[in-house]
Amino acid sequence: MPVIPFKQAIRQAMVEEMERDESVFLIGEEVGEYNGAYKVSEGMLARFGPRRVLDTPISETGFAGLAIGAAMCGLRPIVEFMSWSFSFVCFDQLMNNAANIRYMSGGQFKLPIVFRGGNGIAHQLAATHSHRVDALYARVPGLIVVAPSTPYDARGLLKTSIRSDDPVIFLESEIVLNETGEVPDAEYTLPLGVADIKRPGSTVTLICWSKMVKLCLNAAAELEADNIHAEVIDLRTLRPLDEQTILESIRKTHRAVIVDEDWPYCGMGAGIMTRIYKKAFDHLDAPIARVCSEDTPVPYSHPLEHAMQPSVEKVIAAVKEVCYV
């Protein structure tokens, strides 16, 4: 099975869907002539031409609104935000229009659109370019939120997202873009709303997504030396959330640690914790622990940027706390 980078898997998904369906097109800043800010769309302009790979001005409000209108008329846009931090300038388009048009029209309009791009802390991009929007959009009815961690998952989930008749927020960690993994040549899709157990275990459940998955897998490997067998659940989709996989794991391990790159206050992890306490409280042998970024703006300084984020050491400490080790 070929081993390819995450960003190539994203490109494969877009190319395959654009070849399969002429209504699919890509729009965003530098997606064409420059081959994408992170080279995710490399070669796509030459392959599909400027009618289906559209470079835009620096106006997220403008091209997001244009794409929403196109989706209402039956096309299937893929909108690339260079950074999800930039989506804040078109928040009205996402929060009011994309999320609500199908509902407010009584189903007369479908919204088959994918908004995708870099999410989270990368490397010295400072406070205004390092936002984690997971919880911000996952709380909105009408939006689907996807956050893959591997090239295999990215390709399969993006293909399904492009075929969805509802708007999808597709979150790609910039740190993960060059990481590699096995991806089959044959076409495949993956269902939305289904988590994946990346590592089975019996002692504690680690709940994570996106770039936190690799961190949790590394922590789980180190914990084996202490006879702690961590089960690592990759949520893959944040909305809808696969509660069943989470609850089944906790009923087995009786302990949980949620690892979330976002701030602790009102974060995605807090929402997951609430659901676990409501539906699996009697199965817990210890309070749920959370590992998050520090409650501060993201520093430009690399040592400080590294220190404020979740780490393998922080995850191990949290696991030992809930295991009373």
Beta bridge partners of 257: 206, 289
> Does residue 319 contact residue 223 with C-beta atoms inside 8 Å?
yes
Give the pLDDT score at 318.
98
pLDDT, mean over the chain: 97
- C-alpha to C-alpha distance for 290 and 310, rounded to whole angstroms: 10
Distances (CA, A) of 216 to 177, 207, 220, 253: 18, 8, 6, 16
Residue with the two structure tokens 């999320």? 99
Give the pLDDT score at 287.
98
Q: Which fold has domain 196-322?
A: Rossmann fold (3.40.50)
Give the pLDDT score at 5.
98
DSSP 287-316: --EEE---SSPPPSSHHHHHHHS--HHHHH
Q: pLDDT (tens digit, 9 = 90+) per residue, 95-126?
A: 999 999 999 999 999 999 999 999 999 999 99
Give the residue-averaged pLDDT of 288-301: 97
Long-range contacts, 213-222 (Cβ 8 Å, 24+): 213/149, 213/150, 214/149, 214/176, 214/179, 215/259, 215/310, 215/311, 215/312, 215/315, 216/259, 216/315, 218/312, 219/312, 219/315, 219/316, 219/319, 222/312, 222/316
- C-alpha to C-alpha distance for 6 and 234, rounded to whole angstroms: 16
- Statement: the pTM of the whole predicted model exceeds 0.75: yes
Please provide the CATH number assigned to the domain covering 3-182.
Answer: 3.40.50.970
Q: pLDDT (tens digit, 9 = 90+) per residue, 164-185?
A: 999 999 999 999 999 999 999 9
**To 10 degrees, what angle do helices 151-163 and 6-20 make?**
30
Judge if 3-182 and 196-322 fold alike in CATH terms.
yes
Q: pLDDT (tens digit, 9 = 90+) per residue, 34-44?
A: 999 999 999 99
Give the residue-averaged pLDDT of 276-292: 98
- pLDDT classification of 1: cutoffs 50, 70, 90: confident
Q: pLDDT (tens digit, 9 = 90+) per residue, 67-77?
A: 999 999 999 99
Structural domain boundaries of the chain? 3-182, 196-322
Q: pLDDT (tens digit, 9 = 90+) per residue, 295-307?
A: 999 999 999 999 9
Hey, which residues are catalytic here?
Answer: 60, 129
Give the pLDDT score at 203.
98
